Amino acid sequence: MAYAQLAGEAIDMDNGAAPRWRLGGQIELRQGLDILGASEACNFVCALVRTPTTRGDGDPTSTLIRGEIAAEAALGDQFSVFVRGRGQIAFDPVLSFEEFSGGNFTIGRGYDPGVIVGDDGAGFSVEFRGPQIAPIKQTDFSFQPFVFMDVAWTWDDGRPGDPQRLSSVGGGVRARLDDRFRLDVTVAVPTERSGLLVDTPDPRILFTLTTLLLPWGAR
């Protein structure tokens, strides 16, 4: 796989240490290569005589364009809105690793990762973020509440039932201590049945703890 990527960032420079907005994004062109013993396309018939590829109709030499953009803007002095969007267009059926997916880890908190997949896809997340609250003045501890909405679509050319869609809403808090520990806790509520699921998934509680272990004395 060969790829070329263009990325950029911008931030408000007119307000010193309290910027009012920030913006970042990237676009990537990916091209599968038929070199170094790469797998050849293998439909369901050839799978009877040799190891198949991850998708019977997938093309290992497919071409696709993938992009992502994220922006945050202040709403007054205490609140902000954050928007993130992702998308992909494939010119041929792709192998599983290159498919656009929705769910946890991409867009679609509250769903299993990859609950919907497709050659093409698009999705966005919107978060309304509250103020940084520091309840204990003697410590460098603060937390920020937020609410969110995630929506994503995927589709393949000619597949019945396309596009597939998911959506979820929820909220949570992001806490930090001494620039060393960060804890994210999110309650995510799926709002519809997606992919091969029979029913709408139950709400989930998601949490992530990140810490700087070494050097321990660093700030």
- The model's pTM is 0.86
Q: What is the pLDDT of residue 217?
A: 62
| Burial (CB count <10 Å: 0-12, 13-18, 19+), residue 8 | exposed
Q: What is the pLDDT of residue 213?
A: 77
R_g of the chain computed on alpha carbons = 21
Mean pLDDT in residue range 142-167: 90
The CATH code of domain 2-31+62-211 reads 2.40.160.50
Question: In which band, very low, low, confident or very high, does the pLDDT at 170 lie, cut at 50, 70 and 90?
Answer: very high
Secondary structure of residue 87 in the 3-state scheme: strand
Inter-CA distances, 111 with 28, 64, 118, 148, 164, Å: 26, 25, 16, 14, 14
Q: Domain residue spans in the chain?
A: 2-31+62-211
pLDDT for 16 beyond 70: yes
Q: What is the pLDDT of residue 59?
A: 80
- Cα 213 to its chain centre, rounded Å, is 26
